């Protein structure tokens, strides 16, 4: 059985001067490393800390941190999501690991799931210091629901002007007064009514798992996502090795569409896996050993350990 690994509290600076804080699960000195990206709006305590700890017990040093404006990391206003900045922050995480001196600077991978799958792939598309990328549950096109986009963008433009006048940023709660989840992203608007009824469950779970979780999102976040189409960057990941995992019953992005994206990638070393009996809503209950054993084999192949 793999030995328990040391966990260090760490922090590092981003290019634009923020301090991001997280944990380093320490693997062998001079060995490979993986940067583990979190879920939509979620601090590291929600799912991904367990992922990083698992990798730390199996031969890699794993870095997991709260994204900008989330959890313990800097960034104002809070829960102000900028996925392109988050992708750039992966490059700063690579620099941190290289400068830290513990890991092999030429064997660093990035990992993402659902929301952060596009962030991880975008980071790998631009930063060749990233030597492998693992992404599961691809969410490649962050369109707003067409019936809401014009109003949301208009509100975002008004909010920008208001903030320049000294007013506080405008927020959108995840749940309305009836306890219903907002459906402002096209992904969510296309779900069946039964599937939409289960959406509030993840917020309940997030609040229990992380005391720093906030259940509202800045209006500016929607404006940025209306422009964020990471699918157009995925082709540039090549020749970096890439592994794509798709939930068999993904109710948000059709599995066959995710597979078509994988088929279009030109990376010479690529791997595809279906995560059996899992969808978007129940993915966090997946058996971690079952999920990560194949990913570990992929990383051993491409990073050589």
* Tens-binned pLDDT, residue by residue, of the chain (305 aa): 445 579 999 999 999 999 999 999 999 999 999 999 999 999 999 999 999 999 999 999 999 999 999 999 999 999 999 999 999 999 999 999 999 999 999 999 999 999 999 999 999 999 999 999 999 999 999 999 999 999 999 999 999 999 999 999 999 999 999 999 999 999 999 999 999 999 999 999 999 999 999 999 999 999 999 999 999 999 999 999 999 999 999 999 999 999 999 999 999 999 999 999 999 999 999 999 999 999 999 999 999 99
Q: Report yes or no: 223 and 155 within 8 Å, Cβ to Cβ.
A: no
18: which 2 tokens?
């923020």
Element (H, E) at 216: strand 216-218
Question: 21: which strand partners?
Answer: 11
The two beta strands, 216-218 and 242-247, are unpaired
Tally the C-alpha atoms within 13 A of residue 167's C-alpha that lie toward its C-beta: 10
Tokens describing residue 273: 């896996």
In contact, 49 and 23? CB cutoff 8 Å? yes
The radius of gyration computed from the CA coordinates of the chain, to the nearest angstrom, equals: 19
What is the pLDDT, as a whole number, of residue 67? 98
Give the DSSP H/E element, type plus range, for residue 238. none
CA dist 174 and 112 (Å) reads: 22
CA dihedral 192, 196, 198, 200 (to 10 degrees): 170
| Closest to 69 in 3D by CA, of 38, 111, 33 | 38
Structure tokens given for 263: 């088929």
Beta pairing partners, 245: 136, 273
């Amino acid at each position: 059985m793999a030995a328990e690994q040391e966990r260090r509290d760490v922090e590092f600076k981003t290019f634009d001067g923020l301090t991001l804080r997280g944990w380093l699960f320490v693997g062998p000195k001079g060995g490979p490393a993986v940067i583990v990206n979190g879920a939509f709006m979620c601090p590291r305590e929600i799912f991904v800390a367990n992922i990083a700890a698992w990798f730390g017990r199996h031969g890699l040093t794993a870095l997991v941190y709260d994204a900008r404006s989330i959890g313990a990391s800097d960034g104002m206003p809070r829960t102000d999501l900028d996925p392109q900045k988050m992708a750039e922050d992966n490059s700063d995480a690579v620099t941190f690991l290289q400068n830290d001196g513990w890991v092999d600077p030429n064997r660093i991978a990035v990992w993402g799931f659902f929301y952060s799958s596009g962030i991880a792939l975008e980071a790998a598309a631009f930063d060749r210091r990233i030597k492998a990328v693992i992404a599961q549950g691809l969410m490649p096109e962050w369109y707003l629901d067409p019936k809401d986009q014009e109003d949301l963008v208009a509100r975002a433009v008004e909010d920008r002007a208001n903030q320049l006048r000294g007013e506080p940023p405008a927020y959108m709660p995840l749940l309305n007064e009836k306890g219903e989840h907002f459906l402002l992203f096209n992904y969510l608007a296309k779900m069946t009514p039964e599937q939409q009824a289960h959406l509030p469950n993840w917020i309940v779970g997030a609040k229990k798992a992380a005391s720093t979780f906030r259940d509202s999102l800045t209006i500016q976040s929607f404006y940025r996502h209306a422009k964020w189409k990471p699918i157009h960057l995925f082709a540039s990941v090549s020749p970096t090795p890439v592994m794509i995992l798709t939930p068999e019953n993904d109710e948000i992005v059709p599995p066959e569409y995710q597979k078509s994206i994988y088929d279009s990638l030109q990376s010479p070393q690529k791997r595809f896996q279906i995560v059996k009996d899992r969808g978007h809503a129940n993915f966090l209950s997946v058996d971690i050993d079952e999920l990560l054993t194949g990913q570990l084999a992929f990383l051993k192949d491409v990073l050589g350990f």
